[in-house]
Amino acid sequence: MRVVRSPIAWLTFGLAVLAAMPAAAVGDVRYVDDDASPGGDGLTWATAHRHLQDALAAAAASGGVVHELRLGGGTYRPDRGAGIKIGDREATFRLHEGLAVRGGYLGVAAGAGEDPDERDHDMHPSVLTGDLLGDDGADFLRAEENAYQVVTALDVDASAELDGVTVQGGYADGPHFGPSPDSRDQGSGVNVYFATPVLRDCRFIGNWAINHGTVNDHGSAILIGCHFEGNYSESVGPALYIHHDADTLVQACTFTNNRTPGKGGGVYCLSTSAARVTDCTFTGNEAANGGGLYAGEDSTVVVEGCTFTGNIASDRGGGLYNDLTHSTVQGCTFLGNMVTEGIGGGGGGGIWNEGGDPQILGCVFTNNTALERGGGVYNGAHSTALIDGCIFTGNETTEDGGGMSNAESDVTVRGCVFAGNIARNGVLNVGGGMSNYISSPRIIGCVFLDNRVEVGENQGGGGGMYNEGGCPVVVNCVFRDNEAVSDFFAAGGGMYNFSNACPRVSNSLFAGNRAAGAGFAVGGGMYNDFASDAVISNTTFADNTAALQGGGVLSFFSSPQIRNTIVWGNTPDQVLVDGGGVATLLFCDVEGGWAGPGAGNFDADPLFVNPDVDDYHLGPDSPCRDRGHNWAVAGDAGDLDADGDLGELTPLDIEGLPRFADTAAGDPGCGAGAIVDLGPYEASGVTVDVIRGDLDGDGLVGFADLITLIATWGPCPPDACCLADLDLDDAIGFADLLTLLSNWG
């Protein structure tokens, strides 16, 4: 079960933490300054402790009297203080319960008239450094003698606080004892075990670790307003590592230019307790997988309101990598992230989802790039991700899926916009907006606008969408001005279906799409190739173009079924079958007519309201009103009315209006009960509840309907028996009878 704390819950938790902290009292503050004279007692700035270790020891010995240490601007090393051996790499600043360590004070440097309690982190930085010899160079030169862990938080609660300090120079290259506080290969900045400290407004700069990075959280730390920059890990999470059981809160933090050859350039998170990363910024971080953030197996991290900019993964997930997670990524922006190599098949410039069921909600993906697949998002390894309300613009890949690539993953993509994405510069480029490989995603209420496949003298297609194998469900979608262009072979300006793909397209619009180039450019609206038997219902193909053939819909060795659909104004032709296969059209309006298999087809100007401004609604006098076949309406696979019934007839049109609205006298479609319009838009009228099996249109399935069905038993073409043929197989039989009986009443 996914456990997610609401913002109110986090606020309540934070207030409880603050309430639990002791109130300040006279004499409970002690002072520390590296410029102080030796031997101070810390009671005033004038008698400040010189070493932080001495102040920590005195506070621990005070029996809880001292609740705050104030650090003047300066440098503090953990191997300095009474009883500590200089150069001891094991030396560390240990946090205590009930004690806040705060930096950034003017301190003893205050001159006449100046307040030593003046606090400014930039002007008076308090630096806790692991550089014991003070000789570190660039890129961790001469850091091998640094402290393993600059700060340690062990067995403390949220009353232990580190506030407004800079932590740098930790070098955790020591022995490894697994997930234990005794390990010295992790937590080079702050090593957290069995603890919930508060780290507030701290800077973590230039720390190094073999294993888990700068802040190693094996507790449930609270990090607020912290900045991580230039940290490094040989393994994972150079800035922040979050353990399985950690209920970490990371709020308003920045992660900049942190690096690892492993996973999670900024954050590596394994939390199964709904750790939360909110309002954070990830910029210029680098990793093999998860340039900005890596969410590990079974994690439930919530990433909300964050910005990922210019992060780099050499293999997968330029911005973020979800590995078999149940995570939620909400309200985030992914801008200019990239995958540079794609070792062994990589991609996901913005996000790579490896299996799992992550939720990507209300995010924006702009100008992300992937060397191979999924410029914006990649879903693979049987992922069942939900991508809802997201915007994909200007993302790019050199292989497939400029906006999104799905491989063997039945994801749900709902209410998203794919605009100006591109697949190009590869040997085979497909899916400018989206690519689906052996996948059956549900794509509901999405817009594909001005996406492009551009392959030079190579081959490719699917400017808007490419499907290879699998049976995607495409409902209430718009494909507008997408393009596939090549000087060799370009197919499917709007959609390209290849090799046993069986998309189910309903309530959708294909307009102004193009297959272009000097070579074999075919299928302006849709191209069905090699046994790709698309089923198309209540859709409009208008004003699409192909340089060679198949302006509207072209099928090659494929047998599509096209129902309740308008095919008009395409160039050079409307519906064309090339090679083997047969297209069957039922109750369609086709410019120039349709002489092939089917019934109820006609040739009449659909009288769109104003196609010049992309308005393809049916005008008041359109012959396509109430001209369809009720049973040719697709099943509600997109659950448009959110009632959980995926088997009912789709109840709504592309705009969410009732799909069955009676507007025309005489009902020229299939029988007295036929009231559905052709195309994706339903004109307003008297709303009728249409039930599969209700042959007389009285709102009930009963004996009258049963008698009608039995009376037409046997082979029966659609224009003869019409509504009794519930499964549209040109015969009335047991399948129709069982369908009727299952809806009885």
Q: Convert the pLDDT of each residue in 59-71 to its tens digit.
A: 999 999 999 999 9
Q: Which residues pair with 514 in a beta bridge?
A: 483, 545
Contacts of 176 (CB under 8 A, 6+ apart): 183, 184, 185, 186, 210, 211
Q: 423: which 2 tokens?
A: 């697949």
Low-confidence residues of the chain: pLDDT under 70: 1-27, 344, 664-674, 717-720
Q: 137: which 2 tokens?
A: 């160079």
Task: Output the CA torsion 449→454→459→460 (10° steps).
Answer: -20
Residue 717 domain boundaries: 703-742
Contacts of 225 (CB under 8 A, 6+ apart): 200, 201, 251, 252, 253
- Whether 200 maps to a domain, the answer reads no
pLDDT of residue 691: 85
Q: Convert the pLDDT of each residue in 391-444 to its tens digit.
A: 999 999 999 999 999 999 999 999 999 999 999 988 889 999 999 999 999 999
C-alpha 445/C-alpha 205 separation (Å) is 45
- Whether 730 maps to a domain, the answer reads yes
C-alpha 213/C-alpha 211 separation (Å) is 6
Helix (H, G, I), strand (E, B) or coil at 730: coil
What string of DSSP letters covers 420-488? S-EEESSSEEE-SSEEEES---EEES-EEES-EEE-TTSEEE-SSEEEESS--EEES-EEES-EEE-SS
CB burial of 364-403 (b: ≥16 within 10 Å; e: otherwise) equals bbbbbbbbbbbbbbbbbeebebbbbebbbbbbbbbbbbbb
- Whether 235 maps to a domain, the answer reads no
C-alpha 659/C-alpha 671 separation (Å) is 17
pTM of the full structure: 0.94
- Whether 321 maps to a domain, the answer reads no
C-alpha 611/C-alpha 151 separation (Å) is 67
- Whether 410 maps to a domain, the answer reads no
What string of DSSP letters covers 334-356? EES-EES--TTT-B-SSEEEESS
Of 262, 413, 264, 400, nearest to 325 (Cα)?
A: 264
Other CB atoms within 10 A of residue 722 CB: 23
pLDDT of residue 692: 84
> What's the total number of domains in the chain?
1
Q: What percent of the chain has pLDDT over 90?
A: 83
**What φ, ψ does residue 597 adopt, rounded to 5°?**
-60, 150
Contacts of 95 (CB under 8 A, 6+ apart): 101, 151, 152, 153, 156, 160, 161, 162, 195, 197
Contacts of 635 (CB under 8 A, 6+ apart): 646, 647, 648, 649, 650
pLDDT of residue 670: 66
- Whether 259 maps to a domain, the answer reads no
Contact assessment for residue 472 and residue 497, using Cβ atoms and an 8 Å cutoff: no
Measured in Å, how far apart are the chain's first and last C-alpha atoms? 38
- Whether 152 maps to a domain, the answer reads no
pLDDT of residue 729: 81
CB burial of 615-633 (b: ≥16 within 10 Å; e: otherwise) equals ebbbbeebbbbbbbbbbbb
Token pair 């064309």: residue: 576
Of 445, 428, 436, 362, nearest to 403 (Cα)?
A: 436
- Whether 736 maps to a domain, the answer reads yes
